[in-house]
């Protein structure tokens, strides 16, 4: 059977997605406290009004959790597809995401647990060609430059100090621009991971508070933009 170049390219790309799925699952299963939650959504105007979270998958995950009236600590991971409008082409495209949500746990403990998993995942795939950027969602004033944690008294100072203890070799910056990627539901800290090779956002995440029908949960998590990871393999 003859295989043309398109079939070969498609097959190789599919293998990359499969590699990332398998690597993520293997990594998560080492931590037996996580349960998988399944979700896949299509974005539209009605959905955007109902889901006010970091990503549409995250919104679906937390809607499911809060409908269970969950008050105890719970850890979830997910792998799913989001259909949303691409900001460059204005076309609806399919995007794949991997992520975790740590529910009703101390924010610093959640941060450290999330960072350990994420750093391992990044080192396995991206090979240190990335940089973390941390920001404080509560910043009121807009600054023009990226600052270091030594120049600010913001809440993220302790997070950054603990991050450095986890891995001294990983690059990071602190950005204190107002509303820099973070939304009004974030609290204490928001972060993203930037690829120094592709110049794209590989991961975004942070602490948040979610309320619905007089019920509320606090959480910490991250979402990986897997399509951008595939480009780096």
CB 210 within 8 A of CB 67: no
Cα–Cα dist 29/117, whole Å: 11
Residue whose C-alpha is closest to residue 61's, from 41, 39, 45:
39
What SS3 class is residue 68?
coil
Lowest mean pLDDT among 38-42, 45-49, 79-83, 204-208: 45-49
pLDDT tens for 44-85 read 444 344 433 334 556 666 666 666 655 678 888 888 777 666
Q: From start to end of 86-183, where are the E strands?
A: 92-103, 130-135, 146-147, 172-175
pLDDT tens for 118-140 read 999 999 998 888 999 988 776 55
CB 222 within 8 A of CB 102: no
CATH number of 42's domain:
3.30.930.10
pLDDT tens for 147-185 read 444 445 567 888 989 999 888 788 888 876 655 554 555
In DSSP terms, 93 is beta-bridged to 84
Q: Which residue matches tokens 């403990």? A: 109
**pLDDT confidence bin for 3, thresholds 50/70/90:** very low
Token output for 183: 């939304």
CB 166 within 8 A of CB 218: no
Tell me the residue range of the domain where 153 lies. Answer: 5-230
Token output for 222: 């991250």
Task: Return the ∠ at Cα 114 (arms to 31 and 35), rounded to 5°.
Answer: 40
Whole-structure pTM value: 0.77
Report strand pairing: 130-135 vs 92-103. unpaired
User: Could you give the number of structural domains in the chain?
Assistant: 1
Residues in the chain, total? 233
């Amino acid at each position: 059977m003859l295989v043309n170049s398109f079939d070969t390219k498609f097959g190789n790309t599919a293998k990359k997605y499969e590699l990332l799925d398998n690597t993520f699952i293997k990594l998560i299963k080492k931590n037996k406290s996580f349960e998988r939650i399944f979700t896949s959504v299509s974005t539209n105007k009605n959905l955007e009004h109902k889901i006010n979270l970091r990503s549409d998958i995250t919104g679906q995950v937390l809607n499911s959790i809060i409908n269970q009236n969950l008050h105890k600590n719970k850890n979830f991971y997910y792998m799913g597809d989001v259909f949303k409008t691409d900001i460059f082409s204005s076309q609806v495209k399919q995007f794949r995401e991997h992520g975790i949500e740590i529910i009703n746990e101390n924010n610093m403990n959640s941060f450290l647990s999330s960072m350990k998993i994420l750093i391992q995942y990044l080192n396995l795939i991206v090979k240190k060609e990335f940089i973390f950027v941390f920001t404080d969602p509560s910043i009121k004033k807009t600054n023009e430059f990226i600052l270091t944690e030594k120049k600010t008294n913001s809440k993220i100072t302790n997070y950054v100090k603990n991050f450095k203890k986890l891995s001294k070799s990983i690059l990071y910056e602190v950005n204190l621009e107002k509303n820099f990627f973070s939304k009004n539901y974030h609290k204490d800290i928001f972060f993203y991971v930037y690829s120094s090779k592709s110049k794209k956002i590989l991961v975004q995440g942070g602490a948040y508070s979610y309320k619905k029908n007089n019920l509320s949960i606090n959480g910490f998590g991250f979402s990986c933009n897997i399509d951008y990871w595939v480009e780096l393999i």
